[in-house]
Amino acid sequence: MILYIIVFILSVVGIFGFFLDIPVLYIISGVASIIDNAIGTLSGRQNNLITPIIAIAISIIIIGAEYGWVFASLIGLTFEAAILSTTALVFIVYQLRK
């Protein structure tokens, strides 16, 4: 649960960094998303990596020409982590309220 909160905070900060053009923020958020996906895959919590792969592919297609494929991948992972960690936190709060 703590990992979801950390990834959520970092991904929101990374999205602000993307829109404010501060590369350090979305780089940190993208690396945190990579670490989260690696931990999830190794621990068995995450069964497949199709969502991060789709996020990377879409971000390279959309913003790859402007940012380059490495930064576009990190930005895509930032948005993917924000969406999935928000969803996970909503489910956790819903389960705690039961």
Length of the chain: 98
Instruction: Let me know: does 27 contact 18? Beta carbons within 8 Å.
Output: no
Alpha helices in the chain (DSSP H): 2-19, 23-43, 50-67, 69-97
Convert the pLDDT of each residue in 49-58 to its tens digit: 999 999 999 9
List of residues 6+ apart from 73 with CB closer than 8 A: 30, 56, 59, 60
Convert the pLDDT of each residue in 49-84 to its tens digit: 999 999 999 999 999 889 999 999 999 999 999 998
Model confidence at 33: pLDDT above 90: yes
Number of domains in the chain: 1
Q: Determine the pLDDT at residue 28.
A: 95
How open is the CA angle 97-39-23, to the nearest 5 degrees?
95
Task: Give this prediction's pTM.
Answer: 0.88
Q: Residue 69 is part of which domain span?
A: 2-97
Q: Determine the pLDDT at residue 4.
A: 80
CB atoms closer than 10 angstroms to residue 49: 13
- Residue-averaged pLDDT of the chain: 91
